A and B are shown apart, each in its own frame.
Chain A
Amino acid sequence: LVFTEEDKYDLYSNLLFKYFLAEGIVCGHDLFVASAKEHPDNILKELPAPLLDDTYGKELGEEAAAVKSEDVQDSMKIAWRYQNLPKMEASPSTYTKFGHYYDVSKKMSPELCQSVKWHSFYLHEELSLEPKMKTWNMNSGYARLLQSIQRIISQGGFDGSDPQKKQRNVLRIGIQSLGSILWGDDVCCSDTPEDTHSLTKFLYVLRGLLRKSLSACIITVPAHLIQNKAIMERVTNLSDMVVGLESFIGSERETNPLYKDYHGLVHVHQIPRLNSLICDVSDTKDLAFRLKRKLFTIERLHLPPDLSDTVSRASKQDLAGSAELLSSGCGAMAIGKKHLDF
């Protein structure tokens, strides 16, 4: 259960959400999209197009070649202590491909979208259907969503209930802006909401559904609106993975020269610890993201040495969008060469 805290204007978390769904389509998984904000059909029309291996590989290859020609095996004279640290360089071909890359400037073709089975849940449509349903002391929007998910899981055989089905597939569930007022929950509105349990109950039942079926789920939540810290604590405990996106738009960090290359920070609050005593803890916890014209990349936050503007920094790691989030931990390989100029 991947829990994403939305950034303030929901620009980047929306992007992450779309990556998750796009990856599902490219992998041939079934999709389930739920939203109270925009109709799932519209969401699906806006997914980024996957980059075919050869075109991206060529682009990367060209970049790497250009960098390599400048690179000479300089032995470091002043900072010789750093010589022994592993060089952050790996050519694209040795990068273990996990997931796919996407071109944010292009939309996914409708044929590709239609190639998988997908289910949608648009709250406002659903509410107008059968009015009478058990709600188990929970917000009715959430209760309905749970029932819908449970129905899809058992009908689609994702929980192994249908022995006839030979080919078992994965169900990717994406739920947008959970907890917002559009779902009928006031947890984002005040410090002491009336209904303190619906969101956490929903997450618990969802967790149960995910555990007993072949499915994975990403939820985005406008966490910046939830003032009640107790609820955020409980929600974190109930999720497997919690990632927060903090964008620099409108904050004082936008003009801070340290952050000038990035659009925001990625906070990894929790990584899954499943089937093991330990979890895969990565080396660094400072991650930042940036949205280029074609790519959305997440990189190690790299502060430059405090020098003039001509310092070049090229320490990059490309994560294959959401597919990496599903793997254990946030370890990522670096591409590019790090220059230390003095």
Chain B
Amino acid sequence: QSKFTLLRDTRTDGSFLVHHFLSFYLRAGCKVCFVALLQSFSHYNIVAQKLGVSLAAAKERGQLVFLEGLKSCLDLLFGEEEQPGQPSPLQFLSGSTSDLRALFDFVRVSLTPADGDSWKGPVLLVDDLSVLLSLGAAPVAVLDFIHYCRVSVCCQLKGNIVVLVHSNEDCEDEENELIVNSLCHHSDLILWAEGLATGFCKDVHGQIKIIKRLSLRQAAEQDLVQIYQYKIQDRNVTFFARGLSAAVL
């Protein structure tokens, strides 16, 4: 409850974690607001079906609120004039405002429990935050957005937030690093998927570092760090201890 989980990937694609959390929370009966900025709805739907969850059905029964960033962007730019009562969540794209307030309002409205809702805890899932920078949002605006979401979703509604960011330590994207570092400091749990330092390998796709930030809640505690390696398959991901991949044993 009330947890902020940061998904981070470096030199590899961490989106399998997003798919996992999406199907996990839906199966658990939570109400999910998914801000999907990078891929289309059908992509997530097809993968989710392989994992045993139907996104279309979840949308239908009101359990899933799906913001398809690509489609929303096209509607904003090529569609007719927007109605005053329904501003587009990605309004900052057209240059009229520079903050992400509209996006936050969208999230807040989607997750505020309506009468008759029987879902367990609300969840906000974002894939991925780094795209907002590519679209012209300032890092401060992105951090503000996350802050408002945290207050609203974690504190007021007692829900969870899961956010994916890309990061590359030796890269010069300072704006992105600023956001990633800031989020790291405030996360309860960090799942960091990295490509192997030794390069590409067919049997081990990468390594995942799980950091439980116990020091966030209690002053004297140390963070707990666990490292596993993983291999992604068509329908699931297998994790194993470092160096003990099935190909080696």
Residues of A within 8 A of B (CB): 134, 136-137, 146-147, 150, 197, 200-201, 203-205, 207-209, 211-212, 228-230, 233-234, 237-238, 273-278, 281, 283, 285
Would you call B223 an interface residue if the criterion is a C-beta within 8 Å of the partner chain's C-beta atoms?
Answer: no
CB-based contact B47/A277 at 8 Å = yes
**Partner pick for A275 among B42, B171, B237, CB 8 A cutoff:** B42
- B51-69 residues at the A interface, CB under 8 angstroms: 69
- Please name all residues of chain B whose beta carbon is closer than 8 Å to the beta carbon of A285 when the two chains form the complex: 200
The 5 closest A-B pairs by CB, nearest first: A137-B95, A230-B173, A208-B70, A200-B134, A197-B136
Q: Is the CB of A205 within 8 A of B74?
A: yes
Q: In chain A, what residue has the closest Cβ to B137? A: A197
DSSP class of A's interface residues: helix, strand, loop or mixed?
helix
CB contact list, B10-32 vs A, under 8 A: 13, 15-16, 19
Q: Any chain A CB within 8 A of the CB of B43?
A: yes
Let me know if A136 and B70 touch, CB within 8 A: no
Nearest residue, chain B, Cβ from A151: B78
Name the one of A146, A229, A275 contacting B172, with C-beta atoms under 8 angstroms. Answer: A229
In the complex, B147 has a CB within 8 A of chain A: no
Q: State in angstroms the CA–CA spacing of A205 and B75 once bound together.
A: 10
Q: Is the CB of B47 within 8 A of A137?
A: no
CA distance A207 to B172 in the complex (A): 24
**Are the CB atoms of A230 and B174 closer together than 8 Å?**
yes
Collect the chain B residues with CB atoms within 8 Å of residue A275's CB.
Answer: 42-43, 46-47
Any A CB within 8 A of the CB of B221: no
B40 within 8 Å of A (CB atoms): yes
B194-232 CB mask vs A (1 if < 8 Å, else 0) is 000000101001000000000000000000000000001
> How far does the alpha carbon of A208 sit from the alpha carbon of B130 in the complex, in Å?
17
In the complex, the chain A residue whose C-beta lies closest to that of B20 is A277
Q: Are B172 and A204 in contact (CB under 8 A)?
A: no
Taking a contact as CB atoms under 8 Å apart, the answer to whether B70 and A277 are in contact is no
A230 and B70: CB pair below 8 A? Answer: no
Are A230 and B234 neighbours in the complex by a CB distance under 8 Å?
A: no
Query: Which residue of chain B lies nearest to A146 when distances are taken between CB atoms in the complex?
Result: B77
Q: Please determine whether B50 and A277 come into contact, CB atoms closer than 8 angstroms.
A: yes
Q: Judge whether A273 and B134 touch: CB under 8 Å.
A: no
Interface assignment of B233: CB less than 8 Å from any CB of chain A: yes
Tell me, in angstroms, the Cα distance from A137 to B97 when the chains sit together: 11
A233 touches B78 (CB 8 A): no
Contact B78 A136 (CB under 8 A): no
B135 within 8 A of A: yes
Contact of B134 among A136, A146, A234 (CB under 8 A): A234
In the complex, what distance in Å separates the CA atom of A147 from the CA atom of B94? 14
B242 within 8 A of A: no
B73 is an interface residue with CB less than 8 A from chain A: yes
Given A197-B136, A208-B73, A233-B171: 13 more A-B contacts, CB < 8 Å: A150-B74, A150-B78, A205-B73, A207-B70, A212-B40, A212-B71, A230-B172, A230-B175, A233-B166, A233-B173, A276-B46, A278-B233, A281-B202
